[in-house]
Structure 1
């Protein structure tokens, strides 16, 4: 495992000390302060020989999952439930469409990756209490990994999150508070109380290590593609940490020489397609307006709970990655998302989360508009299992309890 050289601000590029717990940049002259990136001494991981060693079975960790990439992750004993190394499923209808099935993770969503890495560092730093504002799935994952690490967890979620998220938090022994509002209201409560309560704030992009767990999705999709980039990556974007993490992974792989160059001439990263719901589309609105950051979305609503984030903290990073990659941001109606969910269930045998169905609906939309061609190789992210949304999806299907 590499040593952490420093933490770097994504805005002002100041360097911070990684030996003590950090939240956001303390040097930024303007507000909001920049989120921090973990920077390593990666000299030992350079080249194909180092790349070919990843994934070697360690008898003490028979299912390494995302920790197969330990050479590009912090040197710390992992708090792991065998997260990561999720399947990439080929569509039955299009040989160039692959679905990255993050529902195969512990707690049923991609959130397990970030919480595994973050909780590993929380335990390493000796922190005993954490607080997390969540749109649902991050709360369940935080509760699980806090239980595994022996950490006291306080989870704040909107009161209308899927029932599965509430059941998870209580079952794992977390302290759960349901809030009459959105994730932004939950974040406000955590911020107001954390100092008095002695909580470390594990909010999205308010600490540097959830990104490190999420970046393993980028390493995986490239390795599973034969160490080449696909033409496009579709990512459901609420807080956007997964997209940000993958963009960081691509940068690291290029520095390490791990990813194949196009025709030997250089790298062409995939078009990053950020997908939102029409009822909460701050990044889409900012992208269309040519702005570098989003504005708070008023009256946010969508049945895809993970997309109901009225202003992502890392919006400026998301927008920059989309533009650098020649990608785009798509906002779709709940009706289009639900139609795609049913389409993939009945024709592919895959029960998508509403957020994952936003990806598949966005693909159909961009094929129809000509932005992409059916011959282009794409990876669509299903960020969670549809089984975590049975109450929400059942309601959309018109089902009622007997």
Structure 2
């Protein structure tokens, strides 16, 4: 595992030491990247062979030198579509806590323990909270979580079950972030929010390493990524840069497709307007809870990556997201998260308008398990539990296992 050479600001390229757990650039408040000695890395980093560790830590040679707090995150399956052999679904639902957030939190909490931190705090649209609670419990670190009160119930339940200090807020994730920022100094919390520290990107970048390895060390033509805070998209782009420097992959990088919900589409709006940053999206509302981020901290990075790659930003209405969710459930046997269904719907949209061709090889990220959203999906479908006080009748099946 390599030593960190320095931390670099994504905005002004200021370089600072990694001797302590840093938050953002002290000069311009830009998000920080972890940088390694590239020449040393070329001598020590090894491209994984088949087999080996079946987690994101198979890429330990390109991750910070730390003792991992791990629950088996990463190395999720990449599934070919049953209807189009050029569509591959990266199934992040198989991660601990059921979402891709496990990757970033595994790395961030590992580093927090390494640096001796005792109290971590974060605002969350839901899934990051569950992951932080789980990994903090595994590390023996206090977790303080702030979520909108209407998050999927599973997110609230897991936070409480893991022993985190959970506060539900009457507002959006931006309101939760404000509370963390106002209280962190007094409470002694380290703010582990999206892009307010450098290591969640390092965990998320393993998605880029994995998809390239799982495609036999080649790039796809496009990557579809549901984008709330956008850390995964940013991490994958960083992974592609590192792999090229190491000679692990060649060719043209994929078009990066960022997907938002039409009810909360700050990055899509900025992209259409040709802006380099987004504005606060008013009255944000969508049942894809992870996409309800009205002003991403890393919006300037997301927009730059999309444009560099020749990609685009797509926003999808909730009705279309639900249609795609049901389509993939019934024809592919996969209950996607609403965020994942936004990505599959975006694929259909870009095929229809000619931005992509059916022959293009694409990877679509399902960022979480649909079962974590049963309350949200049921409400969107208009499904309720049947009213019945009568217990099911016992059915005889031969008397071998159950009574006749």
- Among candidates 315, 328, 331, match of residue 299 of structure 2: 315
1:216 aligned partner: 206
1:44 and 1:66 map into 2 onto residues whose CA distance is 22
Q: Would you identify which runs of 4 or more consecutive aligned residues in structure 1 move more than 4 Å?
A: 53-56
Q: 1:5 to 1:55 in 2, by over 3 A?
A: farther
1:91-110 superposed matches below 5 A: 91-110=81-100
1:96 and 1:393 map into 2 onto residues whose CA distance is 28
1:40 aligned partner: 36
Report the aligned-residue RMSD: 1.2
Contact 2:48 2:58 in 1 (8 A): no
Q: 1:247-302: per-residue Cα shift (whole Å, max 9, x none)?
A: 0000100111110x3xxxxx311000000000000000000010100000000000
Larger radius of gyration: 2
Contact 1:137 1:165 in 2 (8 A): yes
2:17 aligned partner: 17
Contact 2:47 2:248 in 1 (8 A): no
Structure 1 position 45, deviation (Å): 4.0
Which segments of 5 or more consecutive residues in structure 1 lack a partner in the other structure? Answer: 58-62, 262-266
Structure 1 position 330, deviation (Å): 0.2
Contact 1:159 1:178 in 2 (8 A): yes
Q: Note if 1:337 corresponds to 2:312.
A: no
Q: 1:117 to 1:55 in 2, by over 3 A?
A: farther
1:52 and 1:297 map into 2 onto residues whose CA distance is 42
Q: 1:258 to 1:285 in 2, by over 3 A?
A: same
1:64 and 1:81 map into 2 onto residues whose CA distance is 11
Structure 1 position 65, deviation (Å): 0.1
1:98-137 superposed matches below 5 A: 98-137=88-127
> Higher mean Cα deviation, 387-396 or 309-318?
387-396
Structure 1 position 351, deviation (Å): 0.5
Q: Note if 1:236 corresponds to 2:226.
A: yes
1:60 aligned partner: none
- Among candidates 281, 289, 293, match of residue 273 of structure 2: 289
Contact 2:264 2:284 in 1 (8 A): yes
Q: 1:379 to 1:365 in 2, by over 3 A?
A: same
Which segments of 5 or more consecutive residues in structure 2 lack a partner in the other structure? Answer: 388-404
- Among candidates 55, 70, 82, match of residue 72 of structure 2: 82
1:150 aligned partner: 140
SS at match of 1:276: strand
1:163 aligned partner: 153
2:253 and 2:75 map into 1 onto residues whose CA distance is 21
SS at match of 1:310: coil
TM-score by length of 2: 0.94
1:183-194 superposed matches below 5 A: 183-194=173-184
Q: Note if 1:379 corresponds to 2:363.
A: yes
Between the two proteins, the alignment pairs up a number of residues equal to 386
2:51 and 2:5 map into 1 onto residues whose CA distance is 25
Contact 1:110 1:383 in 2 (8 A): yes
